[in-house]
Amino acid sequence: MITRKSKLEIQTMREAGKIVSAVHAIVGDAVRPGVTTLVLDKLAEEIIRSRGAVPTFLGYRGFPASICASINEEVVHGIPSAKRVLRDGDIFKLDVGATLDGLVADAAITIPVGEVGEDVKKLIRCTRDSLFRGIEAATIGNRISDISFAVEDVANKNQLGIVRDYGGHGVGHRLHEEPHIPNHGAPGRGVRLKAGYCLAIEPMFNLGTDEVRELDDRWTVVTADSRWSAHFEHSIAITEEGPLLLTLPDGASQPYLNGAVL
């Protein structure tokens, strides 16, 4: 069942989303060649707790850290480690959730470490762009797969692979709620979107194949051909005025709302 969140619940998720956004900004600033993903994880946890929230991922189905830290061919769910050092030319995927007063916000960004190649820049740009095309489609009366189609369209037009085994999801009282939101598919399918639905939309595009596999650590997902992957995610709320982005920075203007501010 898909739950519709109240205005108050959405306001709390927006506050949780500001914390997630602060983690992206502060941890993103700390990303540089030589830093380990464990250091970034500890920094993220400190930011989340200092703002009165709880790291959603820590302990989720046994996940041992506050962020998912995925590098290069790692798609999602990388485990932070003192042995994983970022190097010049890498790309780092930072996925983080914060739970505030029992409500969750979840978002991810891809950060270049130093200088990256043109093909990788394009991969990052297209993946981010597809997230916003997906968000634009998240309006009342549209269906779930209208989001999927909008995301897939960007990958197809740019000859990029699409991760099909993972996708977006409902979010709110739990990290993963219904519905599942594939990043591919024909439009006009699935439930109709209603005000109060809160969704985490999260395209993952690859330079090569769509195919992915899970490593022996039972968490880290990598591309089957070891070519690189990018990931962007926002949590949003469907409102009468349009999609409200929950995981933007504090004070950021809402690009899809018709002048309404919660």
Q: Which residues bind Mg ion (CB under 5 A)?
A: 106, 200, 202
Residue among 84 and 231 whose Cβ is closer to Mg ion: 231
Residue among 35 and 234 whose Cβ is closer to Mg ion: 234
The DSSP bridge partners found for residue 103 are 100
Residue 76: how many CB atoms within 10 A of its CB? Answer: 21
Residue among 200 and 207 whose Cβ is closer to Mg ion: 200
Crossing angle for the helix pair 144-157 and 118-136, nearest 10 degrees?
160
Residue among 35 and 104 whose Cβ is closer to Mg ion: 104
Residue among 111 and 200 whose Cβ is closer to Mg ion: 200
Q: Least distance in Å: CB of 95 to Mg ion?
A: 7
229 three-state secondary structure? strand
Q: Least distance in Å: CB of 259 to Mg ion?
A: 29
Selection from 185, 191, 175, 189 nearest residue 140 by Cα: 191
Q: Least distance in Å: CB of 106 to Mg ion?
A: 4
- What Å distances lie between residue 220 and 13, 65, 99, 234, CA to CA? 27, 13, 23, 21
Angle at 23 between CA 20 and CA 24, to 5 degrees: 90
1 three-state secondary structure? coil
The owner of tokens 């200092």 is 50
Residue 108, φ and ψ in degrees, nearest 5? -140, 150
Q: Least distance in Å: CB of 215 to Mg ion?
A: 19
Residue among 24 and 116 whose Cβ is closer to Mg ion: 24
Q: Least distance in Å: CB of 261 to Mg ion?
A: 25
Upper half-sphere CA count for residue 243 (Cβ side, 13 Å): 25
Q: Least distance in Å: CB of 200 to Mg ion?
A: 4
